[in-house]
Structure 1
Amino acid sequence: MDLLALADFTLVARHGGFGKAARATGRPKATLSRRVAELEASLSLRLFERGARDLKLTQEGRALSERAGALLTELEETAAAIASGGERPRGRLRISAPLLFSQIVMGKLAASFALEYPEVRLEVTTEDRAVDMIEEGFDLVIRVNPDSDERLVGRAFLHDRLVVVAGPGLARPTEGTAVPAVVRGSDRAAWRVRTPAGHATIAVEPILGLASLIMVRDAVRAGVGAGRLPISLVSRDLAEGTLVQWGEVDAPDIALWVLYPTRRLLNARVSAFLNHLRRAFPNGTPDELASYAEG
C-alpha cells in the first residue's frame, strides 16, 4: 500500500473534502484527488461518496480513516522522537478505565503521571462497558476480568476479592432468614460465602439498590444493611471495627487488567504508563490498592 496515498486520503477525510484539504495544506487539489483515486483502485474499494457539493466517507472509508489516522500519527511521533535523539514520551494518551478504579485511584494516578511526563496529554474516559479500543481510538484500556480478545494483549496488575460486610450492630441472620441488604442495581441473588466454619448461603432482602460500589459502601457504613464489596474498599473499616466481615464471597477473585492492541508497537507514552502502573502497584494486592487510595 502506498503510504503517501494513505496519508493524502486521511488528510482529505479529516478536512471533509479535496478543496478544503488543499487550501489548508497548500497541496494541489488535483494531486490529492489522484492519490485518493489510486488508493481506491489498489484496494478495490470506494472510500468516498462523491456528491455534487459534498464528500462523505463510506463505511469502509470511515474504518480506514480511523485506523490509518492513528497509525500515521504514531509513525510521525516516532520519527520526531528519533530525530530529537530519544523516545521521550509526548503527545496524546487515551485511556478507558472502569468506574470504581477511576473513582478511588485514577485521579491521583493521572496526576502523578502528568507531573512525571508533562509533555503527554492524558485523557481518561470512565465507563464499565467493554469499549472497542481500536475502533474508538484508545491507546490503553483497564478492565475487570475481561473476556479473551485475540486482538489485545496485556497483564493483570491488581487483584481484589469480594467480602460480605455489615455494621457491628446488625446481627448475622440465621439459616433461611433474609438479611436487609444494600445491593448494586436490582440484584436479589443470595450470597454464597466462605467462612471458617465452611460454606454458607445468605438470603438477602434488598433495602437499597444503588448504582456504584462507593454508594453501597457508604450506605453499609450508615448501618442500613449488609453489603457485598471489594475488600480493598472496606479494609480500613474492618481494621477499625466500624464494619465486620461475614465471609468471603465464593467466587473467583477480581483481576484488573491493562490491555493494548497486539498489532501496535508500544509507543513511548504507552510504555511510560505501563511502567507507572508497575511502580504504583508492584505486588498488585488488595492491601496495596487500599493504601494507594487512602494515601
Structure 2
Amino acid sequence: MTGNGRAPRLAVFGAGVMGVGIATLAVARGVAVTLVDVDRARLDTARARLRHELRLAQMMGALSPGGAIGDLRLADAATAAADATWVIEAVTELAGLKADVHKEIAAVVAPGTLRVTNTSSIPVDELAGQVPSPEDLVGIHFMNPPYLIGTLEIVRGPRTGERAMSAVRDLLSTLDRRGIVVGDGPGFVTSRLLHRMINDAANLVEEGRASVEDVDALMEGCLGHPTGPLRTADLIGIDNLVDSLWVLHERTGDEGCRPGELLLRKVAEGEHGRKTGRGFYRYGAS
C-alpha cells in the first residue's frame, strides 16, 4: 500500500513491444497498471498481447502459477495516469517525442511522482532540460523481455533528486528487479557496448566474412555470449537498434555506431526481428 492507503498503480506510456513487456512484468507481480497509448489500433490489441506474454512468462518459469495478477486499464489520454504511484514512458527512441510525452505526464500527475524514461541510449539530462520538475526524472533501461531479465540499468541524471532515486528503489523492489545505478551519457553502459558490437557483427556478415549463424556460434561458444549478437538484435528489434545507433552516432561522433548497410536494409525491408517474424532469423510458422 502507498502512504495514502491506496494500492500502488504503475502507469506505462507506450503500448509497443517494451511497453507491453513492462506492463506484463508489473501485472505478473500483482501491480495494477494503466497502459496509455494514443494509437487506438495498437491499444486495442494490447490486452491480447499482454495475455500472450503472460503465458510465455509462465512457460519459461518467470511467473508462478496461481499468483495474483494485477488489474490492467487501457487508456488513450495522459489524464488516465493522474492516480499513478509511478510512471514509465516507453515510447519510440526519439528525444523530442519522449520530451513531449513527459510534459504531458508532468501536467497530470501529483507533484513528486516518479517519472521514468525507458531508454536505451538518450541521455536523461537531455530530456530533463526540456521538462518540468527534472528532479523527478530517472532513466531505467529495461531489457527485452522485461519479465525474463532480472537486472537493469538505473540512470541517474545530474538533475535527478534523491526522492526520485528512493522511489525507483521502491518500484524495483515491487517488481522484484535488481537495478545497477550508472552515470548518464549516450548509451549508458549496456547499449554503448552491445549496440556497437551488434553493428560490427552485422558488418562482418555484410562483408562475407562469416554467416549469421557462424558469427553467433563463435560469440556463444568462444566468448560465452548467451544468444549471440545477431539473435540478440532480433530480440531487441532491428528498427529499435538502428534508432539507438543513430542516437549514439549523433551524440558521440563514433563512426563505429553509424548503422551499417545490412541493418539499414533490414529495416527498410520490414525485417525487424522477432516482432515481424523475420530479421537475421525466421520465427513462427515457416
Q: TM (normalized to structure 1)?
A: 0.29
Q: TM (normalized to structure 2)?
A: 0.29
Larger relative contact order (CA 8 Å, sep ≥ 6) = 1
- Which structure dedicates a bigger proportion of its chain to strand? 1
- Which structure dedicates a bigger proportion of its chain to helix? 2
Task: Look at both structures and tell me which one has the larger radius of gyration over its CA atoms.
Answer: 1
